[in-house]
Amino acid sequence: MRRYTRAVAVFLCGTLLAQGLVSGSARAAESAAEAALLLKYVSPGVPDAAAREIIDPLPALLKEEVSVLWVPAPVEPAAEPEEPARLPLPDDAALRGIAGKLSAASTSMEAVEWTNARVLLEEAEREARSFRFDEAIRPFLFEIFLRKGMLMLWEGDTASAEAYLARSRALRPGFSPDPALFPPQVLSAWARAAARPPPEAELLVRSLPPGAQIFVDGEKRGTTPSRVRIASPGPHRIRLIHPGYRDATREGQWLPGDSEILEITLPGDRIARLGEIIGGPLRGSGSGPILTEIAAAAGVGRMAVLVLERGETGDALRARLYARPPAGGDAVPIGEKTLSPGKQSASAAAKWAAERMLSAGWPPVGTERRESPWYGSFWLWAAVVSVAVAIAVAAGGGGGGSGSGGTTGTVAVDF
C-alpha cells in the first residue's frame, strides 16, 4: 500500500510542478509584451461621435496583432494656480492723501485753473484705483467723476461731461445736486445724465486660441472674442476655459463706465501641443522634444500617434499614423488611410494600423513564445527527469521482501 501511496505522491508533485512551469511561462510571455503608448489626436472638424467609433476600440484591437502593453497617457501635472495680487484696502493716511488732492483740485477749479485741476483729479483717481473698492473709497471716486464732468462741461465737451456725470451718479444713485451750490448748466447736465441707462464696465475679452468659454465670477458669459458687461463696481475674476488648454484666470477691478481690452493666452498641455505639431504642415517634424517628455512621464520607449482628420469628400475620414523610434527623435509618418465613418471602420483601421506598425518594427504577437517555448525550458525537463527517477526508485523498493532491519532507501510522504 505504501508503494502506491509513494507513487501517487510523486506523480502529483510532478504534475503541479509542470503546471507551474507552464503557467509561469504564460505569465512571462505576457510580461514580455513591450510597454507602449498610443496617442490619439482628432482634428476639430471631425464629429466627436464619428471619432469615438474608431478611436475607442482601437487599442484593444491592436493588441490582437501587436505585442504591446498599452499604458495610459500621462496626466500633465496641474499648474499651481496663480493667486492674483489683491489690491489693499485704503488706510486713513491714504484717504487723507486723496482728500487733499480733491481739495486742491476744487480750489484750482474755482480759480479757473483747469489744467492744474485736471492733473490733480487724474492723480487722485489713479491713487484711489490703487486700492480695493469699498464703501470708504466710493465717495472719493464719486467726487472725482463729478468734478471731471464739470470740467468737461465748462470746456464745451457736453457728451463726455454727461458720461462722467452718469458714472458719478452710478456710484451714488441717491445723490441730487443742491441748486444753491451748483450752477444751472451742471444741474441740467445732471438731469440728462440721469436719463441715461446706468453705465457698466465693458470688457472686450479675446483669447489665443479663440473660442474659449468666459466665466465672470463663476457665471458663464459667452465665448471669446466677446464683449462682457460688468454692472457692479469692484474686483471680479475672469476665467477662460478651452478644451486642450489650461484654464487662464485674470482678476481686475472695474468701475462703471470703464472700458478695457483683455488679451489672454491660454497655455496648452502636452497632448494639445503635440496635436498641433503632428496635425500641422510639418507632419511631425520637431515633435521629438515633446515626445521625449511624454515618453519619460509614461515610462515607455515605443510611441505611436494616430491623427484623425476630415477627408476631402463627403463624410470620409483620413487617418494618419506616426511612430516614434524607440531610441527617440521626431515622430515619423508610417501610413495614411481613408476611412468611412461607422463602427465597422474600427476593425479596418486596426488592421491597417497593425500592418503599418509591424512593418515599422513593432513586435508581433507570439514573438516572445517562439523565442522561449515552454517545452524548451531546462527546469521543466529537469523536473521530468526527477519525477521519472523517483518513480523508478519507488518501484524498485516495492519489489523486495520485508527483510528484518532492512532499509529500502525510499522516503515516505505523509498526506
Q: Identify whether 164 is part of a domain.
A: yes
Residue 401 has pLDDT above 50, yes or no: no
Q: Are residues 224 and 306 in the same domain?
A: no
Q: Are residues 331 and 252 in the same domain?
A: no
Q: What percent of the chain has pLDDT over 70?
A: 75
Give the end of a domain, one of 219, 243, 265: 265
Q: Choose between 307 and 5: higher pLDDT.
A: 307
Q: The CATH number of the domain where 347 resides is what?
A: 3.40.50
Find residue 317's DSSP bridge partners.
310, 339
Least confident of 10-19, 152-161, 345-354: 10-19
Q: Are residues 261 and 274 in the same domain?
A: no
Q: The CATH number of the domain where 231 resides is what?
A: 2.60.40.1120
Q: For 358-379, how does the pLDDT look when each residue is reduced to its tens digit (9 = 90+)?
A: 999 999 997 554 444 544 554 5
Give the end of a domain, one of 142, 161, 194: 194
Query: Binning pLDDT at 50, 70 and 90, where does residue 85 land?
Result: low
Q: Are residues 219 and 180 in the same domain?
A: no
Q: Identify whether 323 is part of a domain.
A: yes
CA torsion through residues 86, 216, 262, 134, sign: negative
Over residues 186-193, mean pLDDT: 94
Q: The CATH number of the domain where 127 resides is what?
A: 1.25.40
Domain total in the chain: 3
* Most confident by average pLDDT, 69-78, 174-183, 301-310: 174-183
Over residues 302-322, mean pLDDT: 86
Q: Are residues 293 and 351 in the same domain?
A: yes
Q: In what order do the strands lie in the sheet with 226-230?
A: 226-230, 201-208, 259-265
Residue 404 has pLDDT above 50, yes or no: no
Q: What percent of the chain has pLDDT over 90?
A: 45
Over residues 223-237, mean pLDDT: 93
Residue 380 has pLDDT above 70, yes or no: no
Rounded Cα–Cα distance for residues 356 and 369 (Å) = 22
Q: Rounded to a whole number, what is the distance in angstroms from the first to the last CA of the chain?
A: 14
Q: Are residues 307 and 351 in the same domain?
A: yes
59 vs 27, 271, 279, CA distance in Å? 21, 18, 21
Pairing of strands 219-223, 226-230: unpaired
Q: Are residues 184 and 139 in the same domain?
A: yes
Average predicted confidence (pLDDT) for the chain:
80
Q: Are residues 189 and 147 in the same domain?
A: yes
Residue 106 has pLDDT above 90, yes or no: yes
Query: Binning pLDDT at 50, 70 and 90, where does residue 387 land?
Result: low
Looking at residue 21, what is its pLDDT? 46
Q: Are residues 178 and 261 in the same domain?
A: no
Q: Identify whether 412 is part of a domain.
A: no
Q: Identify whether 40 is part of a domain.
A: yes
Q: Are residues 98 and 145 in the same domain?
A: yes
Q: Identify whether 223 is part of a domain.
A: yes
Cell numbers given for 117: 485741476
Looking at residue 82, what is its pLDDT? 52
pTM above 0.75, yes or no: no
Q: Are residues 233 and 250 in the same domain?
A: yes
Rounded Cα–Cα distance for residues 125 and 133 (Å) = 12
Q: Identify whether 157 is part of a domain.
A: yes
Q: Are residues 143 and 172 in the same domain?
A: yes
* Most confident by average pLDDT, 48-57, 68-77, 174-183: 174-183
Q: Is residue 221 within 8 Å of residue 241, measured between CB atoms?
A: no
Q: Identify whether 222 is part of a domain.
A: yes
Q: Choose between 237 and 315: higher pLDDT.
A: 237
Looking at residue 367, what is its pLDDT? 59
Q: For residue 252, give its domain range.
A: 201-265
405 CB burial (10 A radius; 0-12, 13-18, 19+): exposed
Give the end of a domain, one of 160, 194, 228: 194
Looking at residue 297, what is its pLDDT? 86
Q: Identify whether 185 is part of a domain.
A: yes
